[in-house]
Amino acid sequence: MPAKYTNDQTKALRRSILWRTIINAVLFTVVFAAAFLIVELLKPSLSNFVFYSLLGGMDYTLYNALSTLYYLGAALGYLFGIILIIRAGINRALRYFDALFEAVGGMLTHDDAPIDLPSELSTTALALNNIQAERERSERAAKAAEQRKNELVVYLAHDIKTPLTSIVGYLTLLAESPDMPIETRARYASITLEKAYRLEELIEEFFEITRYNLQTIPIERSRFDVTLFCQQVIDEFYPQAAARSLSIELDAPEELPTFADANRLSRVFNNVLKNALAYADEGSTVDVHVGESVIGTTNWLKIMVVNRGREITPEHLDRIFEKFYRGDDARTTSSGGAGLGLAIAREIARAHGGDITAASENGMTSFAIWIPQAGF
């Protein structure tokens, strides 16, 4: 619980117990004083009654002793009453602790019922209910992530079997048919190589799942030309783009020095561009815009990738950067991955102190990579 909540709650309890004790003590004192005053006013009549009726008017020593005991008893009675009031205040404080222990015990046993505490502990009740709600949200998110991860492991395991079966089948045909025509042999060898590449991608995704620990991404910045950097990454995607009649257009300054981790940023741009090519309409153009923007006092490198294709719903946009998250369409494509690419890209950008944002409207989907720049 934050220190502010603790301090506020301690002050509230202190005031509540102190004022209750003071009020009870004052009320007791007023009642006791009133009773004592009434007795004092009636004392002459009571004294005559005690002296003559009970003692027979004979023994002054016993009468004086009773008078002394009366005042001593009154003093002791008042002191005993104050002690009882203080004890009641202490017991009330202990009941607060009992209520707190019971509430915390309910949280530890995963009791989902709302925490209800006395009004004096309203601050603590609010804080504990917030903690319980956050814990429940975290548990649900962890279970959902674990379920998605398990589903993807099963999915990838099933997908691995498909290209592996094809590879074994075609290699068996090549081995058992040495007199096969050269054209057919070349076609089978090409198909086998394609399936082997697909198998390599799936196995790499398995490794990605096992070593996925984004909280420990090391960033080693250096200065480099981001325009040349983007052109080199784009060139690597030429075969993939050509296979679907896609073109990639780079809009960037002739030279743009930047300060970032080139290897990590390469992976960010690679993952974003790969996603854009996978979901772009066949025969369309994927645009890459590179530039700088000044927001407030910070100079930002901005790399935006825009493709034309099926629009992404707001619900998917909210979750597209979650690890192991895959839209329904991804499962039906042969290039569907484990749902880690964009999650890793965002974490690398955030490790730089930046971020990635996404937008989709009217069939145009854009991803913007933001990296803060130090002065050169």
More confident of the two residues 368 and 57:
368
The verdict on 279 and 362 lying in the same domain is yes
Same domain, 60 and 38: yes
The predicted structure's pLDDT at residue 225? 94
Residue 304 shares a structural domain with residue 337: yes
Q: Does residue 65 lie within any of the structural domains?
A: yes
Residues 294, 171 share a domain: no
Asked whether residue 105 falls in the same domain as residue 176, the answer is no
Most confident of 114-118, 132-136, 351-355, 372-376: 351-355
Residues 177, 35 share a domain:
no
Q: How many domains does one find in the chain?
A: 3
* Host domain of residue 91: 3-111
Output the CA torsion sign for 318, 321, 324, 329: positive
> In this structure, are 154 and 223 located in the same domain?
no
Strand order across the beta sheet in which 285-295 lies: 247-251, 285-295, 298-308, 364-373, 355-361
The Cα-based distances of 27 to 73, 79, 117, 143, 351 in angstroms read 20, 14, 27, 57, 64
pLDDT of residue 328: 47
**Quick check: is 123 in a domain?**
no
With respect to residue 118, please indicate whether it lies within any of the assigned structural domains.
no
Judge if pTM exceeds 0.75.
Answer: no
Domain co-membership, 52 together with 159: no
Pick from 202, 273, 265, 205: which is nearest to 235 by CA? 273
Question: Of residues 331 and 122, which shows the higher confidence score?
Answer: 122
Q: Is 124 inside any structural domain?
A: no
Please check whether residue 178 lies inside any domain of the structure: yes
Stretch 294-300: mean pLDDT, rounded?
Answer: 85
β-partners of residue 361 are: 364
Binned at pLDDT 50, 70 and 90, residue 216 comes out as: low
Does residue 15 have a pLDDT over 60?
Answer: yes
pLDDT in tens, 261-284: 998 898 899 889 988 998 899 999
Per-residue pLDDT band at 305 (split at 50, 70, 90):
very high
Residue 341 lies in a domain: yes
Q: Residues of the chain with pLDDT > 70: what percent?
A: 74
d(CA 201, CA 163): 11
CATH number at residue 182: 1.10.287.130
Whether 232 and 302 map to the same domain: the answer is yes
Residues 6+ apart with CB under 8 A from 358: 312, 317, 320, 321, 365, 366, 367, 368
Mean pLDDT of the chain: 78
> Domain check: are 152 and 61 in the same one?
no
CA-closest candidate to residue 304, choices 273, 340, 271 = 273
Residues 313 and 336 in one domain: yes
Residues 34 and 167 in one domain: no
Angle subtended at Cα 19 by Cα 13 and Cα 24, rounded to the nearest 5 degrees: 125
Token digits of residue 168: 């074994």
pLDDT in tens, 140-177: 877 877 776 676 666 667 667 778 888 888 888 888 88
pLDDT at 66: 62
CA distance 286 to 278: 11
Q: How far apart are CA 357 and CA 317, in angstroms?
A: 9
